[in-house]
Amino acid sequence: MGTFDLQIVTPDGLMFSGQAQSLRVRTVEGDVCILPRHINLLTALGMGEAKIVADGKARSAACIGGMLSVMDNHVKLVPTTFEWADEIDAKRAEKAKNEAEEKLSHRDRLTDQELAIAEAKLKRALVRRSVANRK
Amino acid sequence: MAGVSMKDIKLRIRSMESTKQITKAMEMVAASKLRRAQDNVTRSRPYFETLFDTVCEIAASSPAFTSPYLEEREVKKTCYVVIAGDRGLAGGYNHNVLKLAEAEMAGKDVTVVPIGKRCVENFRAHGFEILTDVWFEAGAVSVSDCFTMARDLCKRFLSGEFDEVNIVYTNFVSILVQQPAVMRVLPLHGTGEETDHVSETLYEPDSQELFGKIVPEYVGGLIYGALCECVASEQGARRTAMDSATKNAEEMIDDLSLKYNRARQGAITQEITEIVAGSNT
């Protein structure tokens, strides 16, 4: 099986650059799997796990927000947050999850904006936790 | 006479020395902050560039689809996001970027989103319309703040509050060179090259919705990138300014020491002359 050129860039730097065999990410529409010679595609990313197979080894990561572009076998993944599973601090994610839940438990006292922030935090924490637990 | 001026000179030397100590310390602080800021710039640059290239590519390659983000409206009102420093003593850094911003704004109907203490104060003093000044301190703005700001700007852009969004920031070219620049963010513009990807490219969900999701992220990414550049530029400018201030202080101290020694020598010579004159009579 062939490979494709994959680049993962985030505001925190270049996370991956090289040849990959497959890439599975969660988009706003659901999971997609990119294989070599995929049709040109442009989509926005959702919140979920990303799985990259490169050199026959699979690595997973928490991948949140941003976009994915496939152009002539060049794949660019531009997420807002991207953390490899082995770099996630599971304890911190757990703590963030509890804090967000705590905050949401009295949601009637929050403004819309605070509510949105707390919900986003909870979602992020859940994604991180599930990715960290799966490694 | 000589005694008084000697004392004066001594005092001046002492005050120069304490000034020198301060500028030296500030230079070292700026240098260490600069190192961190520079790392940040090099780390975020690929993101910044990829984001920019990809969105330009899409905008250029898809003349077929329309999006309110792509549409060039008649410009009635322009929004400027101006990023400057929080503190002074950074040479021409704040002045240069504000001067460029004001030159850009001249004669236009504008609203400003100032970031950085100096910037907020400047636009307030000159009576510009300020959209929001929540982002008071440039150093304290985080990635998520950038995205919040971007979502807000996009919403206002779509509702027609303004027809153009620009960022005025300082490009960190190198430690010694920082260049103020203006970047147009909205509406999007293609690179001008028409490519033939059009028919083959798949957009998920559809192009309209996709743009609605991607563009705020794109704007947020650009603001964050510009901010990183600005923080590094500020520290770079401060380091250079403080370095030259320290050098000037050294020069003055040398000069004053020379004068002091001359005055002292003069006083001794005079004393001897007086003694000799007294013993001769």
What pLDDT does residue B1 have?
45
Give the nearest chain A residue to B49 (CA atoms). Answer: A9
The token pair that represents B96 in the structure block = 């240069």
Radius of gyration of chain A from its Cα atoms, rounded to whole angstroms: 16
- What percentage of chain B reaches a pLDDT higher than 70? 89
* Dihedral sign, Cα of residue B120, residue B235, residue B153, residue A109: negative
Mean of the pLDDT values across residues B156-160?
Answer: 85
Distance from CA of A23 to the nearest CA of B (A): 17
Beta bridge partners of A30: A27
Please give the CATH architecture assigned to the domain spanning B59-239: 3-Layer(aba) Sandwich (3.40)
- Segments making up each domain of chain A, as ranges: 4-86, 88-134
pLDDT level of residue B249 (50, 70, 90 thresholds): very high
Per the model's pLDDT, the better-predicted residue between B78 and B21 turns out to be B21
Contact B202 A28 (CB under 8 A): no
Distance CA B99, CA B181 (A): 11
In whole angstroms, give the CA distance from residue A49 to residue B1: 83
- The backbone region for A56, taken as left when phi is positive above 0, alpha when psi lies in -120 to 50, beta otherwise, is left
Which residues in chain A are contacts of B54 at CB distance < 8 A? Answer: 67, 69, 76, 78
Residue with tokens 């040849």: A19
pLDDT tens, residue by residue, A74-113: 898 888 888 888 888 778 888 888 888 887 777 777 777 7
Residue B64 pLDDT grade (very low, low, confident, very high; cuts 50, 70, 90): low
Q: Can you say whether residue B160 is alpha, beta or left, with left for phi > 0 and alpha for psi between -120 and 50 degrees? A: left
Q: Is this complex's ipTM strictly greater than 0.95?
A: no
What pLDDT digit, counting tens, does each position of A11-69 carry? 888 888 889 999 999 888 888 899 988 888 888 888 888 889 988 888 888 888 888 88
Q: Which residues of A touch B43 (CB under 8 A)?
A: 11-14
Region B59-80: mean pLDDT is 73
Query: Considering only alpha carbons, which residue of chain B is nearest residue A43?
Result: B204
Statement: A4-86 belongs to CATH 2.60.15.10: yes
Q: Helix (H, G, I), strand (E, B), or coil: what is residue B76?
A: coil
B131 — pLDDT class (breaks 50, 70, 90):
confident
